[in-house]
Amino acid sequence: MLAESPATLIPLIPAAVAHDHPDAPKQFGIRLSDEVMELVSAIQEHRKTTNQPFTLSAVVEDAIRCHYNRLIREGAITDD
């Protein structure tokens, strides 16, 4: 018999998406424009519906990974 973790017994409150958090534009020590915050919020909403992590840090990490991979494909940098 598997014991159920206490964490699975209590429903979690969903994390706020960027547009719901007043300090989101200032996270990471940078200020994001309203236009960029709208883009982040749209990405987060999509990620929520596809059961992907949707925190701002998850979106930033994926964006950096995508940009890095594009630079490698274009030959701008090498993956050493």
Q: What is the pLDDT of residues 21-80, one digit of tens each?
A: 665 555 556 778 889 999 999 999 999 999 999 988 899 899 999 999 999 999 999 987
3-class secondary structure per residue, the chain: CCCCCHHHHCCCCCCCCHHHCCCHHHHHHCCCCHHHHHHHHHHHHHHHHCCCCCCHHHHHHHHHHHHHHHHHHCCCCCCC
Q: Please check whether residue 49 lies inside any domain of the structure.
A: yes
Is pLDDT at 9 greater than 70 in this prediction?
no
Q: Please check whether residue 9 lies inside any domain of the structure.
A: no
Q: Please check whether residue 53 lies inside any domain of the structure.
A: yes
Model pTM?
A: 0.59
Is pLDDT at 4 greater than 70 in this prediction?
no
Q: Please check whether residue 7 lies inside any domain of the structure.
A: no
Question: Domain of 45?
Answer: 14-73
Q: Please check whether residue 2 lies inside any domain of the structure.
A: no
Identify the pLDDT of residue 23.
Answer: 59
How far is the first Cα of the chain from the last one, in angstroms, to the nearest whole number?
47
The Cα-based distances of 19 to 13, 40, 53, 54, 67 in angstroms read 17, 8, 16, 12, 24
User: Domain tally for the chain?
Assistant: 1
Identify the pLDDT of residue 1.
Answer: 45
